[in-house]
Amino acid sequence: MSPAWSSIKRTSGTRSPQSEGAIALLAMVILMAATLAITAGLSLRGLTQLTTVDTVHRGEEAFAGADGCVAEALRRLRDNSAYAGGTVLIGNTSCTTTVTDTGGGQRTIQSAAIQGSITRHIRAVVQLGTVILSGRTVNTRTLTSWEETTE
């Protein structure tokens, strides 16, 4: 009795041109799929970074708008100590300012600016007063506190 492996038919080591073409095509498809996956991943990462940069930029614009509204309220308080606030448009940023008389010549300014979906808030306290310069009464404003708040 001969061993079982002796009944295995041996083939020559050559491949047909069709099988070589199929192997090359399969290798090309695998390479293209890997390249596509890498490219898609990099594109998604770039899109995420662009979204983050846009959000930061809008936050900075909203902050600048809120700060600008505090400055505008200070200017208006110089001319009119009864100024109570209002809405101001600075560029593309809309902001609302509320001025509260807290007594003793002190005013609290609350400013909220919106840029897209981002809102920034600033609260400032100012002391109003007057001085006489060269026989003339001049209104003064002294900023005693300023802070960015969450509301």
**Residues 59-80: pLDDT tens digits?**
899 999 999 999 999 999 988 9
SS3 (DSSP) at 56: helix
Query: Does 1 have pLDDT greater than 60?
Result: no
The DSSP code for 8 is: S
Domain ranges of the chain: 42-149
pLDDT band, very low/low/confident/very high, at 8 (cuts 50, 70, 90): low
What are the backbone angles phi and psi of residue 55, rounded to the nearest 5°?
-65, -45
pLDDT band, very low/low/confident/very high, at 5 (cuts 50, 70, 90): low
Selection from 80, 81, 85 nearest residue 98 by Cα: 85
Residues 116-140, mean pLDDT to the nearest whole number:
93
Q: What is the pTM of this model?
A: 0.66
Place of tokens 């109003």: 128
54-92: b (≥16 Cβ within 10 Å) or e: eeeebeebbbbbbbbbbebbbebbeeebebebeebebee
Distances in Å between the Cα of 39 and the Cα atoms of 29, 49, 110 are: 15, 15, 48
The domain at 42-149 falls in which architecture?
2-Layer Sandwich (3.30)
DSSP run (H or E) holding 62: helix 17-79
